[in-house]
A = this chain, B = another copy of it.
């Protein structure tokens, strides 16, 4: 049974490489392809093969974009004195959904990762430092992930950036809204206590 169709097995292997998709979910996805109308499946395949032509990197911030410069960098209503540094374009998606930020972004396209041999020279920060040098940017928010690699990356960048005339911030780390303190992992809870803010 396991080898009833070469393509079935290859597709299961392909889909398993999506983040968060295990072998069973991948199998379920291929079964669902088999139940779809052939035309729907063809449409999906052609969109997949076009996505790389359609979406490129913004030459200013590395965000995904269909244009040379992305819709955020080219938006006249954004605050051009503020830049938020994230690891991946999907972090921009998440932040934009909040509607709480109106500045620019810069995407590192990764983070420092000593275990995977990703060092400072591999981080994509040349364009960022050039822009800081130009002097238009007054504030930088470090929004790398609050995990080991993200914290390391934040520390590394803060060192690099502190020689420019900008104010540097770290996105607030603490207990998430809507949770109960008894269920928060103790690392987060400890951090939230250490970072507690005075009530004005």
Q: Hey, which bits of chain A sit against chain B, CB under 8 A?
A: 1, 4-8, 10-11, 14, 17-21, 25, 27-34, 38, 40-52, 54-55, 64-66, 70-72, 88-90, 92-93, 96-97
Beta-carbon nearest neighbor of A28 in chain B = B19
Beta-carbon nearest neighbor of A52 in chain B = B38
Interface hub of A30, A31, A47 (most chain B Cβ within 10 A): A47
9 contacts between A and B (CB under 8 A): A14-B43, A17-B32, A19-B28, A19-B29, A31-B88, A31-B89, A31-B90, A41-B51, A41-B52
CA distance A72 to B90 in the complex (A): 45
A28-B20, A34-B55, A71-B1 known; A10+B47 contact, CB < 8 A: yes
**CB distance B4 to A33 under 8 Å?**
no
Q: Closest approach, in angstroms, between the C-beta of A132 and any C-beta of chain B?
A: 24
Q: Closest approach, in angstroms, between the C-beta of A70 and any C-beta of chain B?
A: 7
Q: Closest approach, in angstroms, between the C-beta of A104 and any C-beta of chain B?
A: 13
Beta-carbon nearest neighbor of A95 in chain B = B1
**CB distance B93 to A11 under 8 Å?**
no
CA distance A93 to B3 in the complex (A): 11
**CB distance A8 to B93 under 8 Å?**
no
CA distance A44 to B25 in the complex (A): 16
Q: For A52, what are the chain B residues with a Cβ–Cβ distance below 8 Å?
A: 33-34, 38, 41
Beta-carbon nearest neighbor of A3 in chain B = B71
CA distance A54 to B7 in the complex (A): 7
**CB distance A1 to B51 under 8 Å?**
no
Q: Closest approach, in angstroms, between the C-beta of A134 and any C-beta of chain B?
A: 25
Partner of A21, one of B29, B30, B40, B92: B29
